[in-house]
Structure 1
Amino acid sequence: MSNATALSALLRLFRAQAFLDARLNPELNSVHGLGLNELLLLMQLAHAPLHRLRRVDLAQRLHTSQSTITRMCLPLEKSGFVKREADPRDARVGYVVLSKTGLTRVEEAEKTLKRKAADVFRDRWDSDEIATLSELLGRFTAALPGDIP
């Protein structure tokens, strides 16, 4: 593979990300009051043991900083989707915990996301091609924490 081919693939991934943000964010915001990044954060919690993760773990899974996680969690706390929980054994450790309201919102938003995913791919590829894309992207991100099944 040449450097030009690798660059082309990378640029197309960035372009695809921008396309997906533009297609998904408006409906997620208007219907569920969540942006895609907030939904991804809530989905990480929904799939975590006890529906809770340390901020550092959320930051690793979402490939961002702990301060960004803190900023993202503030409006989610005000909306009642998450809460803070201290570790009883270590006061330095804090958890972000998904509330029952947050879990309900995630379940509702995931339904919208599944429908939108079908819409995004429907006119471009058949089921086998989508499965191949999923498998290739899975290999690309296999070593990263936070894969959601």
Structure 2
Amino acid sequence: MTTTQGTTAPPVTLVAAFFGFLVSAVSALAGGLVVLGMEEELADAVRRSSPGSTEEQVGAAVTLGQATVLGTAVLIALVYLWLSFKLKAGRNWARVTLTVFTVLQVASVVATDGNTWVGYASAAVAVAALVLSYLPASNAHFRRAR
């Protein structure tokens, strides 16, 4: 399928993969936002790990931890968004990078005891998007984009 500018429109499989990776980006951001609501749980964890800490030190550690998690989540979401658009444009290097990220995401879900259903669902969506990005119609789009 050719667009009016003469470029080839991505196939349905790649558009679906694009939206799947967008869902992964949103879930990464949502995971970071959840940490903002866990102030007391984080404070308790800091108190247990550092029994001699003052409340001021506990508060500073919680704030630093929340800022780190949120900052990391925003960065991951932005990278996922950027890679998703490059994937849709037919950039194979973006597909390879998303493959590595998806493998790391699945490994993290499998290796971590504290995962929730959101973590599992996000990993499942990323795996489905990855599979879609390697189907024959998607492969043809990457070949044409070269």
- The TM-score range, normalised by the shorter chain, is 0.3 to 0.5
Quick check: which one's strand share is greater?
1
- Higher RCO (C-alpha under 8 Å, 6+ residues apart): 2
The TM-score with structure 2 as length reference comes to 0.33
Quick check: which one's helix share is greater?
2
